[in-house]
Amino acid sequence: MKLQVISGDTSYKITYHLEKQVAELEGRSYPFDWADLGGGEFHMRTGTANYHIRLLEQQPGGYLLFEVNGQLYRTCIRDEKQQLLNEMGFGRDPSPGEFVLTAPMPGKVLQVLVDEDDQVREGDSLIILEAMKMENELRAPVSGRITTIHCLTGSSVEKHHTLITISTDLT
């Protein structure tokens, strides 16, 4: 499986083969042993290093809060599907707690179906975007609250134009 790990301003592309227990990062292979201890706790060994990992919080968009040997980390992990959606313009590097919906193609906003402060569920319709004489229904990829609408009905948008920001904070 190919993952993208984003921590702060740093992004890593990691390919891991769970059945072979090998991870590849920047052309180098790292063998590892992995044990699920239950309750969100794991043990990992690579080389002579041992790590006790405890998952503390998981948020929409691949954001994780976890502890490794007592040190706290917050990161974003995207699988291949999430990376493809990101490349197509369905969200670009939001901060934890928010998701930014962007235009997947240039087009005209025919209708904005939500208002700011509306609560939405994953899969709800948000915007109708006309592109190449076709109407495209853009749906919420996450559940949350609409914090900002960045477009108007009738406006033209370019690919990757920010359309809507959704707060996904679970608190």
Domains of the chain: 2-78 (no CATH), 89-167 (2.40.50.100)
pLDDT for 23-75, tens place per residue? Answer: 888 788 889 888 889 888 989 898 888 999 888 777 656 667 788 888 877 77
Q: In one letter, which amino acid is 150?
A: H
Q: Is the pLDDT of residue 169 over 80?
A: no
DSSP 171: -
Return the bridge partners of 18, or none: none
Q: What is the pLDDT of residue 4?
A: 63
Q: What angle do CA 75, 8, 138 make, to 5 degrees?
A: 70
Whether 129 shows a pLDDT value over 90: the answer reads yes
pLDDT, tens digit (0-9, with 9 covering 90-100), for 3-15: 666 665 666 777 8
* Percentage with pLDDT > 70 across the chain: 80
Contact between residue 119 and residue 170 where contact means Cβ atoms under 8 Å apart = no
CB 168 within 8 A of CB 142: yes
